[in-house]
Amino acid sequence: MREKQASDLSRRSILTAGVAGAGLVAAGTPALGATLTAGEILERMKQNVGGPWRDGGVDHFTVGGPETVVRGISTVMMCTFDALKDSLKVGCNMVISHEPTYWSHPDRLDDIRDDPLYKIKLDYVTRNNMVVWHFHDHWHALRPIDGIHVGEAAQLGWTQYMHKDNPRFYTLPPMTLLDMARQIQSALDARTMRIVGDPAMIVSKMYASYGNFGGITGAAILDGPDCDVMVIGEAQDWDLPMYVQDTMSAGNKKAFIMIGHDKSEQWGMKYCAEWLGTFIKEIPCKFVPIIEPYWNPEKPVMEINTKI
Amino acid sequence: MRPQTLDRVVAGDLTADITGVACMALATFDGLKAAAAAGRNLVIVLEDTWWSDNDDLQRLEGNSTYKAKRAFIREHNLVVARFGDHIADMKPNPVAMGMAQQLGWENYATDKNNPVHFVIPSTNLLALTQSLGRTLGSRTLRAVGDPRLPVSKVGVIWGNANQLPSIRLLNTDIDTLLVGYTHEWEAVMYCQDQVAVGMKKSLISLGQAAGEQAGVKYFAGWLKTIIDEVPVDYIPLAEPYWNLNQPTNLISTKI
């Protein structure tokens, strides 16, 4: 399937290279009646990620294909049903989603083809002539810096504190862990963050791994001198969070903030819309924020739109 | 015995004299300190000890926390045994029994010998979430769905909830699914999407220890019936997390 799409795509890009070039020349003043397909958009993305475009991985069309004519592009953190509805609302029928559409990292379909929700979602996207590109691996591989890291740092207002040689490390003005947690919560709009550590501890050396992060790799970084606080999206409780707990019990002054997966990466997709806008001028490229799935009992909210 | 299992002696000397047994959800350093302080040197846990499913030690060789925890285990002559798979295979399942007991839901179970589906007195999602937080001592539990959703039928996957079993359960008659942990990009997203198409569904993520440790208490009770010679204790673990609603650390930093 993937191979077939790839070969369709390369054929199409040869056939339409001239058209796409003409579109670029006329940047900002799209010609009436000019059309842009998902395949042409993808081709421009490939040319702009700054590194090699690799086969394999999870990046692929989860819905639709390269031939779909695109009216507008939305960038979202995860292709939730809400994200689909909100994309259509702002006139976008191509969704570029960092995370899956079908509830597993590779959008595995084998076991869910008869799933009632799968059928409803598939029907909705097909009926609305939508196309969804899962844009995970290559957005993380953006050069010179991982697109998610660029966007999250900008949203935090901490870009100037990023280390030049490794943008996952930051040296921040010293502050308490509690203060840092408050700043992150407010900058990223993350309402269900969870924190491990002494709230009064002074932190400054931050290591960020937005999204999911595993125990053993994290343990090595936390054990080093360059990290007193680790900020991540999501981890299993018995994995990295347990390590942080244990390293505290061993007398080490370390702290840990789990933002939640969505809000830890979604601002990287805000940057993705800006990035797309630098080479796609014919149609709008819009960042569509998604709904944080969770709430805590202290602050219950209902944001999910239940109308289909 | 299972043909394939992660259960094994994780650390310590099997021939050591056992002075007492401490049962806990995870062998956290805090938990080990509590076991040693109580003079219980056999520690039985459901989950891992070295921060990954398979306790991958190779990459931890130089790690200072690994060395400190190992040294503590040696110094106090502790034996740590992971036993979660075999506990899950017991009939009835001690985790299911213990959690139902802790929640006071034994009489609401559809099958009293395998209490994983309940019909509880009608409530709503918010009230249920608040009550679970209090009963299980979870300060940072998180819910997905409409707080006003009427809830009566409850399905549970204690501990880690994998994608397919969670999705399948969410497609049964349940109003809410209780889990210890499940990936945000899998069952959490699935439940959110169910709500977004008008289905009356919800999910509550309790945290790993809160979502299974009452089962360890039940298991310790059973163990007492077959071990008379040494004391058997259940050691509850403090919640590692805090959030901005309750910014206090519960982890002991004294060694």
| Residues of chain B below pLDDT 50 | none
Domain boundaries, chain B: 8-89+213-234, 94-205
Distance CA B32, CA B18 (A): 15
User: Are A213 and A272 contained in the same domain?
Assistant: no
Could you report the per-residue pLDDT of A27-59, keeping only the tens digit for each? 334 445 569 999 999 999 999 999 999 988 999
Bond preceding residue B150 cis, omega within 30 of 0: no
CA distance A299 to chain B (A): 9
Range A233-241 average pLDDT: 93
What's the domain range around A102? 2-143+266-287
* pLDDT for the residue numbered B68: 97
* CB-nearest partner of B129 from A116, A244, A297: A297
CA distance A141 to chain B (A): 20
Query: CB distance A212–B183 less than 8 Å?
Result: yes
User: Are A234 and A275 contained in the same domain?
Assistant: no
* pLDDT for the residue numbered A24: 39
Does residue A164 form part of some domain? yes
* pLDDT for the residue numbered B130: 98
* CB-nearest partner of B251 from A81, A85, A249: A249
Q: Which residues of A touch B30 (CB under 8 A)?
A: 245-246, 249
Q: What are residue A118's DSSP bridge partners?
A: none
Distance CA A280, CA A302 (A): 35
Q: Which of residues 68-97 of A touch B (CB under 8 A)?
A: 78, 80-82, 85
Render B144-165 in DSSP notation, one character per residue: ES-TT-EEEEEEEEEEE--HHH
* pLDDT for the residue numbered B4: 86
CA angle at B180 for the pair B174 and B184, rounded to the nearest 5°: 85
User: Are A133 and A166 contained in the same domain?
Assistant: no
User: Are A184 and A111 contained in the same domain?
Assistant: no
User: Are A16 and A109 contained in the same domain?
Assistant: yes
Beta-strand runs (E) in chain A: 60-63, 73-78, 94-99, 131-134, 169-176, 194-196, 202-212, 229-234, 255-258, 285-287, 294-295
Could you report the per-residue pLDDT of A291-308, keeping only the tens digit for each? 999 999 999 999 999 998
List Cβ neighbours of A26 (8 Å cut-off, separation of 6 or more): A34, A282
Query: CB distance A238–B242 less than 8 Å?
Result: no
Mutate which: B30, B65, B181, B242, vs A, most A CBs within 10 A: B65
* pLDDT for the residue numbered B252: 84
Query: CB distance A238–B64 less than 8 Å?
Result: no
Mutate which: A294, A299, A303, A307, vs B, most B CBs within 10 A: A294
How large a percentage of chain A has pLDDT more than 90? 86
Does residue A296 form part of some domain? no
Q: Nearest-CA residue of chain B relative to A300?
A: B147
User: Are A94 and A186 contained in the same domain?
Assistant: no
Helix axes A177-188, A147-156, angle to 10 degrees: 110
* pLDDT for the residue numbered A31: 47
User: Are A10 and A134 contained in the same domain?
Assistant: yes
User: Is A40 an interface residue toward B (CB < 8 Å)?
Assistant: no
Q: Provide the mean pLDDT of chain A.
A: 90
User: Is A296 an interface residue toward B (CB < 8 Å)?
Assistant: yes
Does residue A302 form part of some domain? no
Could you report the per-residue pLDDT of A255-278, keeping only the tens digit for each? 999 999 999 999 999 999 999 999
User: Are A166 and A222 contained in the same domain?
Assistant: yes
* pLDDT for the residue numbered A147: 98
* pLDDT for the residue numbered B55: 66
Could you report the per-residue pLDDT of A99-108, keeping only the tens digit for each? 999 999 999 9
User: Are A22 and A116 contained in the same domain?
Assistant: yes
Contact indicator for A124, A307 with CB cutoff of 8 Å: no
Could you report the per-residue pLDDT of B12-34, keeping only the tens digit for each? 988 999 999 999 999 999 999 99
Does residue A149 form part of some domain? no
Domain B8-89+213-234 has CATH 3.20.20.60: no
Q: Looking at the domain B94-205, which fold is it?
A: 3.40.1390
Q: Provide the domain count of chain A.
A: 2
Query: CB distance A297–B141 less than 8 Å?
Result: yes
Determine which helix (DSSP H) or strand (DSSP E) holds A44, and give its type and residue range. Answer: helix A38-48
Q: Nearest-CA residue of chain A relative to B148?
A: A302
User: Are A137 and A167 contained in the same domain?
Assistant: no
Distance CA A92, CA A71 (A): 6
Which of A164, A214, A153, A213 has the alpha carbon at shortest distance from A187? A153
User: Are A113 and A174 contained in the same domain?
Assistant: no
CA distance B159 to chain A (A): 10
User: At A109, which CATH number?
Assistant: 3.40.1390.30
Could you report the per-residue pLDDT of A78-114, keeping only the tens digit for each? 999 999 999 999 999 999 999 999 999 999 999 999 9
Query: CB distance A103–B143 less than 8 Å?
Result: no
The reply to whether B8-89+213-234 and B94-205 are identical in fold is yes
* pLDDT for the residue numbered B57: 83
Does residue A150 form part of some domain? no
Does residue A303 form part of some domain? no
User: Are A15 and A138 contained in the same domain?
Assistant: yes
User: Is A246 an interface residue toward B (CB < 8 Å)?
Assistant: yes
